[in-house]
């Protein structure tokens, strides 16, 4: 029985195997067909891709060729352009430099340059009933030897009352530029104290016709001096932030010796040409700083301080110091100074003086005038209204030194010669060109009471009279100033 | 004692004289362009500090050489700034 069951199972298995084998055969054929189909598709796809890749490669090659050609033609064009430009530059440059060289050779290495200024005035003063014309001519000769050596001379030709021209030599210096930060200047020079004498006094540079009172006929500081200066400037921050210095040794101050004895209020001499008043020297120093960078749009501010010290007679000292500022922003310009002088007197009485001025001007060249006709707008745009207040305090005035004869830049008003002079100056400038100006100025002389008048009157000892109220005065000055 | 400041002053001058001379330097075109650009910015401001700025056309280049030396002294201009203004004035003609 057991064998029978085993036999049936074997037969069943064999039968089942035969049936399955028949099904497997048809599936396999189907799979083979699909595989062949896939292979055929892949082949076609590969052939298509290879064709596309070939086409792309051809395109890339074509583009590369084009690019190479463009580069070549660009380089050729650039070379041609450069050559042409070079030729043009050479043609232009050679002719210009040939001309410049020829001209320079003709002039020589030592060159003379003439600059300077001339001022022609009309002057009216109410108190003295004066009205007159006046003329002053100040050529500056610059003799440039090399790029580190310059000689400078200023000759002043002034036409005083009742005579021919007076000639003087306010400046004659050698300027030696040792390096970028140091220059030596020797000779007779404008006093480097404050901004007035060196920088503001030329006719066309001074916005007014007259000088401010501390630098006028009763000056606190000698206008010129003889000696040696060391000076220079440097940039300490951004562009426009500068600092500069001047230090000098000179003959120093002296006072007028045309009166029998030194007194308080005596006029200071314009220059101490040959020093016989003392064996001491004068020592001066000046420092200026410009705090604002050029790009800050804060304008240009200058702050300065000066000092001058020296023995004016034997062992008696003269000490002066001052501070000053200048500010420029667009059409606005303002400047001012305060200075003080102390003079030791042989008699023991001190001679103290203070002076100051402040001035403001506004150029109308940027004033919008949309409805004004062109000639009117042009006229107004050349105008610069100005105002200045200045004053001097001193204890006395020497009567014998007072000269009310007007001259260029001075109205001759007696009210200026008071111990406490005050002046309001109103100005209106008409600018013909950057260095040609027609200036008009009304001076209101408003002296304050106080102080003394010292008079010798031919006697060896002075008479001292208390100064009472001094009458006010009005003066008008009109000047054509030409800077050349 | 009083001669000490003079001696110091003169010693400084002599010492300075031994420094490099502040003479002309051969400058490259790039530096020339920088000077021109700075000069164009400095010219209206530095000049107007005291007076109206005068155009380069008013003087010949050799005259500007002398005038700018004079102005460098008058205003104590930094040397490079003076060179920049000079470059602008001469090139701006």
Q: Which residues of A touch B81 (CB under 8 A)?
A: 235, 239, 242
Residue B52: which of A175, A230, A434 has the nearest Cβ?
A434
Q: Which tokens belong to A382?
A: 């050349």
Among A103, A119, A140, the domain boundary falls at: A103
**A177 → chain B, closest CA residue:** B22
Residue A191 and residue A263 in one domain: yes
Collect all residues with Cβ–Cβ distance below 8 Å to A399 and sequence separation of at least 6. A453, A454, A455, A456, A457
One domain for residues A90 and A154? no
> Cβ of B65 and A294 within 8 Å?
no
**Distance (Å, whole) CA A394 – CA A397:** 8
- Across the interface, of A148, A204, A280, the residue whose CB is closest to B21 is A148
Judge: B21–A179 Cβ closer than 8 Å, yes or no. Answer: yes
Asked if residue A275 lies in contact with residue A252, where contact means CB atoms within 8 angstroms, the answer is yes
> DSSP string covering B15-68, please?
HHHTSPP-------HHHHHHHHHHHHHHHHHHHHTTSPPPPGGGS-HHHHHHHH
Q: Six-digit token pair at A395?
A: 């204890």
Compute the half-sphere exposure of residue A353: CA atoms within 13 Å on the CB side of its CA.
30
CB spacing of A111 vs B65 below 8 angstroms: yes
Residues A226, A334: one domain?
yes
Minimal C-alpha gap between A257 and chain B (Å): 26
Q: State pLDDT tens for residues B45-61.
A: 999 999 999 999 999 99
Please indicate, yes or no, whether residues A458 and A358 belong to a single structural domain of this protein: yes
Say which residue the tokens 């949309």 belong to.
A370
Which residues on neighbouring strands pair with residue A329, listed in sequence order? Answer: A332
Q: Looking at the domain assignment, is residue B1 inside a domain? A: no
Residues of chain B with confidence (pLDDT) below 50 = 1, 19-24
Q: How many structural domains compose chain B? A: 1
Q: Do A204 and B51 touch (CB under 8 A)?
A: yes
Asked if residue A396 and residue A278 are part of one domain, the reply reads yes
Nearest to A333 by CA among A219, A211, A236, A429: A429
CB < 8 Å to A181, chain B? 79
DSSP string, A297-361: SS-EEEEEEEEEEEEEETTEEEEEEEEEEEEEETTEEEEEEEEEEEE--TTS--EEEEEEEEEEE
For residue A115, list chain B residues with Cβ-Cβ distance below 8 A. 67, 70
Contact B62 A107 (CB under 8 A): yes
- Residues 6+ away with beta carbon under 8 Å from A362: A331, A332, A333, A384, A385, A386
A95 and A121 within one domain: no
Chain A hits for B66, CB-CB cut-off 8 Å, are 111, 113, 142-144, 150
Please enumerate in sequence order all residues whose Cβ is within 8 A of that of A383, keeping only pairs 6 or more positions apart, or say none: A363, A364, A428, A429, A430, A431
Between B2, B53, B79, which is nearest A434 by CB? B53
In a domain? residue B10: no
CB contact burial A120-154 (16+ within 10 A = b; e otherwise): bbebbbbbbebeeebebbbebbbebeebbebbbbb
Last residue of a domain, one of A64, A86, A103: A103
- The single-letter DSSP state of residue A21 is H
Residues in chain A closer than 8 A to B51 (CB atoms): 202, 204-205, 434-435, 483
Q: Is A266 helix (H, G, I), strand (E, B) or coil?
A: coil
- Is residue B86 in a domain? yes
Which residue in the set B6, B22, B66 is minimally distant from A180, CB to CB? B22
> Would residue B3 count as lying in a domain?
no
Domain count, chain A: 2
CATH number of the domain that residue A329 is part of: 2.40.160.10
Partner-chain contact A113 B66, CB within 8 Å: yes
Note down the domain range covering A32.
1-103
pLDDT at A241 (0 to 100) = 96
Q: What is the pLDDT of residue A191?
A: 97
> ipTM > 0.90?
no
Mutate to test the interface with A, among B48, B66, B86 (most CBs of A within 10 A): B66
pLDDT tens by residue, chain A, 484 residues: 555 565 565 665 555 554 445 556 788 889 999 999 999 999 999 999 999 999 999 998 999 988 888 888 888 888 887 777 677 656 655 555 677 777 777 778 899 999 999 999 999 999 999 999 999 999 999 999 999 999 999 999 999 888 889 999 999 999 999 999 999 999 999 999 999 999 999 999 999 999 999 999 999 999 999 999 999 999 999 999 999 999 999 999 999 888 999 999 999 999 998 998 888 999 999 999 999 999 999 999 999 999 999 999 999 999 999 999 999 999 999 999 999 999 999 987 889 999 999 999 999 999 999 999 999 999 999 999 999 999 999 999 999 888 899 999 999 999 999 999 999 999 999 999 999 999 999 999 999 999 999 999 889 999 999 988 889 999 999 999 999 9
Domain-embedded: residue B47: yes
B17 domain residue, yes or no: no
Same domain as A345, residue A262 = yes
Cβ <8 Å between B41 and A239? yes
**Centroid of chain to Cα A163:** 40
A131 shares a domain with A84: no
Same-domain pairing of A129 and A94: no
Residues A89 and A179 reside in one and the same domain? no
Question: Do A309 and A220 sit in the same domain of this protein?
Answer: yes
Q: Is residue B32 part of a domain?
A: yes
Chosen domain end from A46, A75, A103: A103
Residue B68 included in any domain: yes
Task: Say whether B16 and A179 touch across the interface (CB within 8 A).
Answer: yes
Q: How many residues does chain B have?
A: 93
CB-CB contact of A200 with A309 (8 Å): no
Question: Cα distance from B30 to chain A (closest Cα, Å)?
Answer: 17
User: What's residue B24's pLDDT?
Assistant: 46
Residues A348 and A312 in one domain: yes
Name the residue facing B79 among A140, A180, A283 (closest C-beta). Answer: A180
Q: What values do phi and psi take at B64, rounded to 5? A: -60, -35
Among the partner-chain residues B48, B58, B66, the one whose CB lies closest to the CB of A142 is B66
Contacts of A17 (CB under 8 A, 6+ apart): none
Q: Do B78 and A483 touch (CB under 8 A)?
A: no
Domain that holds residue B53: 27-91
């Amino acid at each position: 029985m057991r064998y029978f069951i085993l036999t049936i199972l074997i037969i069943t298995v064999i039968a089942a195997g035969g049936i399955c084998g028949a099904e497997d055969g048809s599936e396999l054929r189907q799979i083979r067909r699909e595989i062949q189909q896939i292979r055929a598709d892949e082949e076609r796809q590969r052939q298509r891709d290879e064709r596309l890749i070939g086409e792309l490669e051809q395109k890339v090659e074509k583009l590369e060729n084009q690019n190479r050609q463009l580069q070549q033609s660009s380089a050729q064009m650039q070379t041609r352009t450069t050559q042409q430009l070079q030729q043009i530059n050479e043609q232009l440059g050679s002719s210009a430099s040939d001309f410049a060289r020829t001209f320079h050779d003709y002039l020589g290495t030592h060159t003379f340059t003439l600059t300077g200024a001339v001022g022609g005035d009309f002057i009216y003063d109410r108190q003295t009933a004066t009205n007159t014309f006046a003329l002053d001519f100040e050529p500056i000769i610059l003799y440039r030897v090399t790029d580190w050596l310059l000689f400078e001379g200023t000759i002043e030709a002034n036409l005083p009352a009742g005579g021919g021209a007076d000639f003087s030599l306010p400046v004659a210096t050698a300027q030696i530029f040792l390096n970028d930060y140091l220059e030596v200047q020797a000779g007779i020079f404008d006093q480097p104290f404050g901004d007035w004498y060196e920088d503001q006094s030329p006719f066309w540079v001074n916005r007014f016709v007259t000088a401010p009172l501390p630098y006028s006929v009763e000056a606190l500081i000698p206008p010129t001096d003889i000696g040696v200066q060391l000076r220079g400037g440097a940039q300490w921050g951004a562009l426009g932030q500068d600092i500069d210095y001047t230090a000098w040794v000179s003959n120093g101050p002296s006072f007028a010796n045309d009166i029998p004895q030194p007194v308080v209020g005596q006029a200071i001499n314009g220059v101490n040409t040959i020093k016989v008043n003392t064996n001491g020297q004068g020592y001066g120093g000046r420092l200026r700083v410009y705090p604002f960078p050029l790009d800050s749009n804060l304008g240009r501010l200058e702050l300065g301080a000066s000092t001058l010290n020296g023995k004016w007679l034997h062992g008696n000292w003269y000490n002066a110091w001052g501070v000053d500022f200048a500010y420029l922003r667009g059409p606005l310009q303002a400047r001012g100074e305060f200075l003080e002088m102390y003079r030791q007197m042989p008699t023991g009485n001190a001679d103290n003086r203070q002076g100051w001025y402040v001035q403001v001007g506004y150029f109308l060249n940027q004033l919008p005038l949309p409805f004004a006709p062109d000639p009117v707008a042009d006229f107004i745009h050349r105008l610069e209204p100005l105002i200045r207040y200045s004053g001097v305090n001193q204890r006395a005035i020497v009567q014998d030194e007072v000269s009310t004869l007007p001259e260029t830049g001075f109205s001759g008003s007696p009210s200026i010669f008071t111990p406490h002079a005050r002046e309001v100056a109103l100005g209106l400038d008409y600018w013909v060109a950057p260095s040609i100006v027609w200036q008009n100025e009304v001076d209101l002389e408003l002296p304050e009471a106080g102080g003394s008048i010292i008079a010798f009157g031919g006697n060896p000892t002075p008479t001292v009279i208390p100064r009472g109220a001094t009458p006010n005065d009005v003066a008008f000055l009109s000047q054509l100033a030409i800077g050349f | 004692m009083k001669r000490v400041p003079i001696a110091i002053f003169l010693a400084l001058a002599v010492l300075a004289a031994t420094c490099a001379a502040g003479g002309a330097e051969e400058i490259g075109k790039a530096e020339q362009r920088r000077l021109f650009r700075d000069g164009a910015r400095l010219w209206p401001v530095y000049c107007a500090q005291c007076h109206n700025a005068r155009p380069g056309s008013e003087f010949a280049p050799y005259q500007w050489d002398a005038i700018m030396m004079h102005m460098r002294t008058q205003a104590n201009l930094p040397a490079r700034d003076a060179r920049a203004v000079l470059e602008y004035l001469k090139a701006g003609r």
